[in-house]
Amino acid sequence: MQPDTSLEAVCYPAANFEPRREGALVSILLLHYTGMASAEKAVEWLCSAESRVSCHYLIDEAGRLTQMVSEQMRAWHAGDSYWAGETDINSVSIGIEIHNPGHGLAYSNFPEKQMQAVEALCVDIVARHRIRPELVLGHSDVAPWRKSDPGEKFDWGRLAGAGVGHWVEPARIEGDAGFGLGDEGPEIAGLQQQLADYGYRSEASGVFDEATEFVVTAFQRHFRPALVNGRADHSTIDTLQRLLAGRPLLGS
Ligand SMILES: [Zn+2]
């Protein structure tokens, strides 16, 4: 196996992968954290048959890059997931695991060396596969009901500065309580519809239920990371609306 990137990388082939769904093209770049104690253990796990998971790349805390699955192939990193109508995210994505112990262990800032490597690899992949900015996503965006990686400490704004991903400066937090669990009405339906329009799995039921709270939490982790509380306050809604307004029309 040879690396697909011209960046310096070692290859450590994974056991779990297969051809992508017939006709599927890479349209999504999906970022994860490993959520494990060490990058070495994460590579071993991601490459083992018994794990039933795998990923194309892993970047350790020092910025060293390991490729485990060929970009041509379908790796098993997204699991049960959804974005803009697509449920087989593995068939249409390239996955990068960024080593970090994660929320369950000792969630920590992503070191500068690591972020430099993440940025370089993302720039490379996005250019080679012509991935649209709004389709560079976190695992929590496509599976908000069960995932929180790469999480609110991940610097999406920095990546956007390098031309990777869709970003607007988050609106100022005003301290209003906003909408939350149990609220009902047309404003809730409107919020749910806007989240769905952006790509999230969100049904415009008009009831702020647990699923809505998960989606709002995922949105905040990515786009308004200063406060992640699952409540749709002015700042959250304003940030979402500016993202929607600034997004190129689908298909263009
Ligand atoms: Zn993940």
Spell 50-59 as b/e; 16+ CB within 10 A means b: eeebbbbbbb
97 is catalytic: yes
- Statement: residue 251 has pLDDT above 70: no
86, 97, 134, 152: the active-site residue: 97
Mean pLDDT of 2-28: 97
| 102-131 per-position pLDDT tens digit | 999 999 999 999 999 999 999 999 999 999
3-state secondary structure of 86: strand
3-state secondary structure of 136: strand
Whole-number Å distance between alpha carbons of 8 and 42: 19
Q: Give rounded-to-5 percent helix, strand, coil for the chain.
A: 35, 15, 55
What is the CA angle 219-100-47, rounded to 5? Answer: 105
CA of 175 to the centre of ligand 1 (A): 31
Q: Give the bridge partners for 67, in sequence order.
A: 11, 57
CA of 39 to the centre of ligand 1 (A): 14
CA of 183 to the centre of ligand 1 (A): 30
| 229-248 per-position pLDDT tens digit | 999 999 999 999 999 998 86
Residues 6+ apart with CB under 8 A from 145: 211, 214
User: Euclidean distance between the first and final Cα of the chain, in Å?
Assistant: 36
pTM: 0.97
